[in-house]
Structure 1
């Protein structure tokens, strides 16, 4: 006779258990995102071809330790989730970045995340002359590998030359140039201060980076957030990924689950 009374109680217990599991899963996801790995998306052209508009990548938050802006769950437009600044002047734990690492960081004059490649280390002298990068007075090697059409976030398409650039340490990566005599192709020599890094976009003529001192400038070590690791999703035209019906025609399947540290050009880019 007690069986009918047990059924509602059993169903209630199942709902409670399900709710607890969901809460636990959310807490685990938040902890992972808070301390270890965080996803980011690419809305602009400054790192093309390495990171294309519409790429989604995961970044390692603990490899360099933790800085002022490390403990954030990210931004959605102008809205920030748990975005607060730690009252510290030095990084906690972790190692120093290497030249060639791709960094998510917060420039001192800005309140949003940028992503660029680390070109200059503390104490380095960095300069651009006729479109060529010089590190400590030595011109960095580059090898032309092809041509392509580059399209920025405003839909402006330009023909670019693709190069494989090799840093003095031997690491290589892909850059692209519209030309060698544009606004940031001839600069003064920058002396990177102690405890700071010099950042540049791989899309050299479409990147506001450390060459623009008033906008980005030298980036303090404590403002580094994470090291980019791998692309896990990519879709053309910055289409929101929740629009699943757009996937068949627009997802870049060839870019998914690949490292961001490749020295090979994207062969699927439109050729001029």
Structure 2
């Protein structure tokens, strides 16, 4: 009987230490994150599995689960660069989002006719063909993609115009455009990014809830520095299915894929 109790105690200790080590690793180094929506297509797809590099920008209280890190402001931090793909905590919804850094503190950001302007200068877009996908309900939210080739039926090909956008620091990335939708405006006022804040946008410009819309109107607004969790550098695994066990839906061409 004593041996059995000792065995149970050792098992409990093993589980405890395993959970503690996993928690420390997740808090200090890399946090797993599944891409739940299509706001970053075609850079990140629904079902991509990434690790968030939490060392990239240092640590704040939001680096810990339930915002429990006893950290004032941010420590050991460096600011993100324009063009970085970042996971951050929504300032009011307590939900993690993934978007691209577009505006740095002090920048003036505006959209005109679907083109991005930073400090009065356009970020040029070079046409790059089309992005095609099957029109179907996608991911755990069951959202349907928006198509530039009109209303297509279930199982048909949904197309979007694709372009390569160049930011002022020379960073290039793919963006998708369909048409101007309410909530995802192609024309905006000029936004001035406050100190210690950042302006984020999704690459799928007509299907991304981001800094173009204020938090009070259901958007993201300007995101304070302390809400940044880390940088996304690479897709580790990808699945187009609703469950990981559906191996026939795995996207092997995206395994360990570096993202820009």
Q: TM-score, normalised on structure 1?
A: 0.80
CA distance in 2, matches of 1:16, 1:66: 35
In the other structure, the counterpart of 2:154 is none
In the other structure, the counterpart of 2:143 is 154
In the other structure, the counterpart of 1:217 is 221
CA distance in 1, matches of 2:111, 2:61: 30
Q: CA deviation at 1:128?
A: 0.3
2:205 corresponds to 1:204: yes
Query: Which residues of 2 match residues 155-174 of structure 1 at below 5 A?
Result: 155-158=144-147, 159-174=159-174
CA distance in 2, matches of 1:156, 1:162: 15
Question: Matched residue of 1:69: which SS?
Answer: helix
Q: CA deviation at 1:210?
A: 0.1
Q: Deviations over 1:167-186 (max 9, x none)?
A: 1111111111113x444100
Moved more, 205-214 or 11-20: 11-20
Q: CA deviation at 1:89?
A: 5.7
Question: Matched residue of 1:236: which SS?
Answer: coil
Moved more, 200-209 or 20-29: 20-29
Contact 1:89 / 1:222 at 8 angstroms: preserved in 2? no
Q: TM-score, normalised on structure 2?
A: 0.83
In the other structure, the counterpart of 2:152 is none
Q: CA deviation at 1:63?
A: 1.6
Contact 1:127 / 1:190 at 8 angstroms: preserved in 2? yes
CA distance in 1, matches of 2:17, 2:243: 28
Contact 1:106 / 1:225 at 8 angstroms: preserved in 2? yes
In the other structure, the counterpart of 1:97 is 80
Q: CA deviation at 1:25?
A: 2.9
Whichever of the two has the greater Rg, that structure is: 1
Q: CA deviation at 1:114?
A: 0.9
Query: Which residues of 2 match residues 49-128 of structure 1 at below 5 A?
Result: 49-72=42-65, 83-85=66-68, 90-128=73-111
Moved more, 59-68 or 37-46: 59-68
In the other structure, the counterpart of 1:42 is 35
CA distance in 1, matches of 2:10, 2:69: 36
Equivalent residue pairs, number: 238
Q: Deviations over 1:31-57 (max 9, x none)?
A: 100111000111111011111111111
Contact 1:149 / 1:157 at 8 angstroms: preserved in 2? no
- Structure 2 gaps, min length 5: 148-158
